[in-house]
Amino acid sequence: MKRIRIGQLSRQWLATTPARSPTTTTATTTASRVSILLLLSRPAPAPTALHAQIRCQSTTTAITPEAIFDEPESKESKEPPEESASSHQANSPLPSPHPDKALRSAKLASLHARLSLSSKIPLPTLARALVDPSADAHPYFNNANLAYVGASRLQYHTSEWLVTRYPRLPMDIIFAAMKSFAGEPALHRVARSWGVEAAGAPGEEVDPGYLQFAKDKPSVMMHKWGYARAEAKELVKYKWRRGMSSRVVFDDPFGNTIPPKKTNEVEVSDARNTKELLMEDAEKNAHANFVRAVIGAIYLHCGSDTTKTFVKSHILSRQLDLSNLFEFDLPERELTRLCDRENFDPPVARLLSETGRLSRTPVYVVGIYSGRDKLSEAAGANLLVAKRAAAINALKAWYLYSPGHVGLPSDTFAEDAAPWKPAYVDIGEIIS
């Protein structure tokens, strides 16, 4: 049997800076082997109570988290610390249920069926997706790595959909929309809608179909794409301003700064699980990480096309009214700047209809015209309010332009895909 260094591949997923890139053949063969390796990653237990000896408390060991799935042969050959450590922890309970229990859990099987997951995704993987790092700090048995893969796929598909579907959205609206589709609160809602329940407390005896996390224990922060800014401390302390362009470069996909790193260790290692990483909302974080981990598992077992379909049907199908995200400062001036920039005639507010001018509750309907073209209209209780509302509507109509159902860049990943037709790219938001 040919050995494949999966460690290389998984390390590339984990590292901030890409490691040596593996060949594509390695990637494809691993995807097919992943299901077997997942089952093998925890050594098969002896039939009786012996299996408790094989696991150990992860805090006592120092395992390098270089691989999501390590080969069992290599583990045995290098005398893993689990075996040596297990001798003095013979009867300590496991922090999370044994993977073998996953095959006998009705709850887990029904969750698998409810999500219409492919049979390529084994139940132990789904069980692993339900274990938060706060419940089981061991990187082989919690969902931190799966969630990391899943988060990157999820954010990629969400952002490409937003940018091609609404090419004129300002950057801060894109950040807000990203958060409402792929952010923690939204993913928490998604997990709740999937019917995932949290266990009262994590432990060996818990049914693997429950989401397991502990509120009082540190979890692993989801590693985010981006850079810790040099001025990160001053941003918090003196409330320095940070521009929108620098957010694109430095910050995470939701436009939030990345906290400066204390150490240079890898995110998912046990050493990172310190007190400071206590989540302020452990429940939301655990639910969100479960959804990300499921997406990661789908990507690893079924490939990128299935992942895309899953993200589209579970995340992007959710309703979000983008027009509610806008807040303007000087809408009339911004509209004038827009008309100047695009060589339109200057906007003129015209009175379309009115009622009750001398009454207590008048209503004016004001339309904004550029030349002979009507841009928008709005009703208001006085002329200036109606004009301002109409200007806001015109700006929203500009920003929310959509070319319709155009292809996504990821469509071209398919084997027999049509050549990519460039999407419409806008020149940028209005500066007033």
Partner 1 sequence: METRQVLRPLGSLKHTTPSSAVTPVFRSVASRRHQSTTSRTKKALKLPPHPDFLTPQSGQNHVIFNPPAAAPSVYHTPFKFLPKSDPRRQANLSQLLRSSSDLHTSSRSTELPPPMSKLEMRERKYNVTKEQVEEMRQLRAADPATWSVLKLAEKFNCRPYFVMICCKASPEHKEMENKRLEDIKSRWGTIRTKAREERQKRKELLLRGAL
In this chain, which stretch among 71-79, 109-117, 218-226, 344-352 interacts with partner 1, using CB under 8 A? 344-352
Name every residue whose Cβ is closer than 8 Å to that of residue 11 and which is 6 or more positions away in sequence.
19, 66, 67
**How near is the Cβ of 225 to partner 1 at its closest, in Å?**
30
Strand partners, 367: 350, 377
Residues in the interface with partner 1 (CB under 8 A) total 45
Within positions 296 to 325, which residues make up the interface with partner 1, using CB under 8 A?
A: 323-324
**What's the min distance (Å) between Cβ of 372 and partner 1?**
5
Q: Is 360 in the site for partner 1 (CB under 8 A)?
A: no
Alpha carbon distances (Å) from 264 to 35, 133, 138, 364: 31, 20, 19, 62
Query: Taking Cα atoms as reference points, which of 129, 280, 252, 251 lies closest to residue 182?
Result: 252
| Single residue of 370, 410, 411, 432 touching partner 1 by CB under 8 A | 370
Q: What minimum distance in Å lies between the beta carbon of 422 and partner 1? A: 9
Q: Cα 255 from chain centroid?
A: 13
Q: Which two tokens stand for residue 313?
A: 């049907």
Can you tell me which residue has the tokens 């494949």? 4
Q: Which of 90, 345, 412, 428 binds partner 1 (CB under 8 A)?
A: 345
Single out the residue of 67, 232, 282, 366 in contact with partner 1 (rule: CB under 8 A).
Answer: 366
Q: Figure out which of the listed residues 85, 163, 363, 379 binds partner 1, where binding follows CB under 8 A.
A: 379
Question: DSSP states of 188-257 as a string?
Answer: HHHHHHTT--B-SS--TTS-TTSBB--SSS--PPPP-SS---TTHHHHHHS-----HHHHHHHS-TTSPP
- Give the angle 207-212-218 at the CA atoms, nearest 5°: 155
Among 315, 378, 408, 430, binds partner 1 (CB under 8 A): 378
Closest to partner 1 by CB, 279 or 378: 378
Query: Whole-number minimum distance, CB 133 to partner 1, in Å?
Result: 38
Stretch 14-53 residues interacting with partner 1 (CB under 8 A): none
Residue among 93, 403, 407, 428 that touches partner 1 (CB under 8 A) = 403
| Distance between CA atoms of residues 222 and 132, nearest Å | 11
| Pick from 64, 69, 77: nearest CA to 4 | 69
Separation of alpha carbons 330 and 363, rounded Å: 23
User: Considering the rule CB under 8 A, would residue 138 count as an interface residue with partner 1?
Assistant: no
Nearer to partner 1, 132 or 334 (CB): 334
Tokens representing 64 are 């390098």
Per CB under 8 A, which of residues 382..401 are in contact with partner 1?
383, 385, 387-389, 392-394, 396-398, 400-401
| Residue 344 touching partner 1 (CB under 8 A) | yes
Determine if 376 is a binding residue for partner 1 (CB under 8 A).
yes
Candidate residues 356, 371, 407, 428; the one interacting with partner 1 per rule CB under 8 A? 371
Tokens representing residue 356 in the block: 């009750």
DSSP codes joined into one string, 377-389 = EEEESSHHHHHHH
Alpha carbon 265 to its chain centroid, in Å, reads: 22
Q: Which lies closer to partner 1 via its Cβ, residue 23 or residue 323?
A: 323
Cβ neighbours around 256 below 10 Å, total: 14
Contact predicate 143/128, CB 8 Å = yes
Q: Which one among 373, 415, 416, 418 touches partner 1, defined by CB under 8 A? A: 373
Taking CB under 8 A as the binding criterion, the range among 35-43, 55-63, 348-356, 407-415 that sits at the site for partner 1 is: 348-356
Question: Which C-beta is closer to partner 1: that of 286 or that of 375?
Answer: 375
Q: Which residue, 294 or 392, has its beta carbon nearer to partner 1?
A: 392
Q: Which residues bind partner 1 (CB under 8 A)?
A: 323-324, 326-329, 331, 344-346, 348-352, 366-367, 369-379, 383, 385, 387-389, 392-394, 396-398, 400-403, 424, 426
